[in-house]
Structure 1
Amino acid sequence: MATLITPFLRDRFLHLLVVLGIVLGCFARFQWRELPGAVDWHTIITLCGLLLVTKGIESSGYFDLLGQRLIQRFNQQRTLALFLVAAAALLSTFLTNDIALFILVPLTLSLRQFSTLPVSRLIIFEALAVNAGSLLTPVGNPQNILLWGRGDASFVGFMLQMLPLAASMVAILLVLTWFSFSHRTIERHDNMTTPQWQKGLLWLSIALYLLFVVALELKLTGWALLLVIACFALRARRVLLALDWSLLAVFIVMFVDVWLFMRLPQLQGLVQQVAHASDAVHFFAAIGLSQVISNVPATILMIQIVPASVSLAWAVNIGGFGLLPGSLANLIALRMAKDKAIWWRFHLFSVPMLFIAIAVGWLLLKALH
């Protein structure tokens, strides 16, 4: 029980959101019975399932073994960095960007056991990579899950809409990675022992992940989540205990906070002005909102004002770059790094990426339309 409760007690971001919700509740016009409807439960169920299957892969211990093999396989810092950034972008297309970080950041931190590497800089680039890669697919990040659910595009159709921006941002990030890491040889530690891992748990988790993605397409997400929970309860109960359930609570409270915010009487006039503004205003408003309140709440807010269009999807994903609050993935990655200096170093790379992404995204939208 303590294992389940402790993350909720330590999550300061969750506490801040709860306090904000209480304050908003004092001024917003609403009825208590309306609050459950404020949450997009399809998004929450999808996140929960993806978190569980990814935690199963992590708990198998395979990534400790993979980390050791990476150090043995790559000889230079630049080539290893390019591989990890590309892997982060690729993983985040099939997992959510947050979940890809739950895999890659512990893997990157484990590299300290075997070698001397600029680990903090690697984590910064992994955070940027998952923001770039995750924008491609409907399940790549929470805002895409939400926008896909509100639109009428198929899984493949959504990917085709996002492909120009995703391909551009990943290519730009790989070029930036090339110039940001040296050609220096990796210095390996002596006396490395082979980590132990559980093959059965790894294959179970992979199978459940594939099943869950199929269930998403077939609109059977709730039943698939029950199956995932049942399998882990029978075969690996520690996966259920180790999951960061407070992260799900963060998203639930975010939905409620934005819903309450939209019901502030003072906001109604501004909302009407934005709703009738041009696509350009919607595009830059979504990016600006993301910098302040994060791109997931910005998406929740914007889809109550404007349709779930391609330009909106591009805008909220671009908003994940820039300032730290732009994406919850940024907060997750830097918090897991446990390095105080990383908080300001992150912006040396992320802010330029924001301006590049805005320019590329706007030019591509103009060219495609």
Structure 2
Amino acid sequence: MSEVNVKRTRLDWIGRIWRTVSKEPVLAILVFALAVLQVVQPRPWPSLPGLVDWQTVLTLAGLLILTKAIELSGFLMWAAHRLVHHIHGERTLALLLVALAAALSTVLTNDVALFAVVPLALSLHKLAPLPIKRLVIVIALAVNAGSILTPLGNPQNLFLWQTSGVAFGAFVWTMLPLCAALMALLAIVTFAMFRGQALDLSSDVDEHRVDRVLCVISAVAFAAFVFLADAHHVGPALAVLAAGFLLWRREVVFRIDWLLLLIFVLMFIVLRSAAAMPVIHQAIAHLGIDTPVRAYAAGAVLSQGISNVPAAIVLAEFSKDWRALTYGVSVGGFGIAIGSLANLIAVRLSNEKGMWTPFHIVSIPFWIVAMVIGWALV
């Protein structure tokens, strides 16, 4: 190949990468942030993959494969059909999905709950015209609010529970007031955002068939994968899962959101690089978080910049008040989307353009009110 052709091929690749990045605002921000961090506080490029929580990324990849398989089986559309013919109001449906998402997030983690509820909401939208953007927003808020209750609900809870040494039941009892208050607030918000009008089912005229073999195998694999991931065997589990579908139904693997995985990898690198900056540690040490209120406020505010999981890890070095920290980083999951990685998953799963503005119109005021509620309880 001539030198001219080599240069042309390189330019074509650069052009494709640029077009991809420019179409994805989150990806563009992360690439820009990584470039800035590498200038301000450079790290050796080969060390960057070590910042990634590969357990989380591999788990996310497995969940993407399994939810895509369940979607392609037709089960979600069938379930949506049954659901809309038993619930006739838009507001009632929204409240039900919020309750379902919150309940699942207490035991399956907020990310897994999203993979169950958001695709169901999208299937419902295909049957009956729904304000899908608003529906995805309240579902994202629901998994963040519901996951507060238990140590299993989200990674920051698990981390702070393990470092605190308290019993499982004591942790749940401590988090119950905040979880209940935020769920009550979310119920009010959901009631106000959706109308009580009847669902329009005029487009629901097709027969909804289910590929039972694909559905049953995917459901069993889903349960097995979550169990193995929880037991820290996600690598072998994902390898078997991906190989099985590539040999049997390769379209399942090919049609998942690969860009979401890339965004998560970059997010871990950028957020952990930022959290490790001496200026952040010095600022926290200078402020002093030796009182419950300060520890709570630090968790709620710092999460807006570096997400609630890194915030919990950083702040745990400065305060042993696990209750105040857990309250703070829990509230920090609302507000700016970066506050919780579950927000990013919800928006990406919706596949709706222009989601970020309406999301923040709802989530930022919700965070402000949640801040006041948490402060009162702390």
Normalization by structure 2: what TM-score?
A: 0.78
Is 2:279 the counterpart of 1:258? no
Trace 1:79-90 onto structure 2 (pairs within 5 A): 79-90=92-103
For residue 28 of structure 2, what is the aligned residue in structure 1?
A: 15
For residue 220 of structure 1, what is the aligned residue in structure 2?
A: 233
Pick which of 314-323 and 298-307 moved more.
Answer: 298-307
For residue 168 of structure 1, what is the aligned residue in structure 2?
A: 181
Maintained 8 Å contact 1:53/1:209:
yes
Structure 2: gaps (5+ residues): 1-15
Is 2:361 the counterpart of 1:338? no
Counterpart residue type for residue 104 of structure 1: V
Trace 1:19-34 onto structure 2 (pairs within 5 A): 19-28=32-41, 30-32=43-45, 34=47
1:178 to 181, 191, 204: 191
1:210 to 216, 223, 230: 223
Normalization by structure 1: what TM-score?
A: 0.80
Structure 2 CA distance for aligned equivalents of residues 351 and 301 of structure 1 = 23
Counterpart residue type for residue 205 of structure 1: S
For residue 353 of structure 1, what is the aligned residue in structure 2?
A: 366
Cα distance, 1:351 vs structure 2: 3.3
For residue 241 of structure 1, what is the aligned residue in structure 2?
A: 254
- How many residues align structurally? 361
Counterpart residue type for residue 52 of structure 2: V
For residue 291 of structure 1, what is the aligned residue in structure 2?
A: 304
SS at match of 2:85: helix
Structure 2 CA distance for aligned equivalents of residues 117 and 276 of structure 1 = 45
Maintained 8 Å contact 1:144/1:313:
yes
Is 2:216 the counterpart of 1:199? no
Counterpart residue type for residue 338 of structure 1: E
Maintained 8 Å contact 1:295/1:319:
yes
Counterpart residue type for residue 101 of structure 2: A
Q: 1:148 to 1:237 in 2, by over 3 A?
A: farther
Is 2:338 the counterpart of 1:314? no
Cα distance, 1:21 vs structure 2: 1.6
For residue 136 of structure 2, what is the aligned residue in structure 1?
A: 123
Maintained 8 Å contact 1:27/1:264:
no
Counterpart residue type for residue 327 of structure 2: W
CA RMSD of aligned residues (A): 3.6
Structure 2 CA distance for aligned equivalents of residues 58 and 355 of structure 1 = 36
Cα distance, 1:332 vs structure 2: 4.4
Q: 1:69 to 1:329 in 2, by over 3 A?
A: same
Q: Deviations over 1:308-358 (max 9, x none)?
A: 934333322211222344334434444536354x64444454334223322
Q: 1:354 to 1:221 in 2, by over 3 A?
A: same
SS at match of 1:79: helix
Cα distance, 1:17 vs structure 2: 1.4
* Higher Rg: 2
For residue 74 of structure 1, what is the aligned residue in structure 2?
A: 87
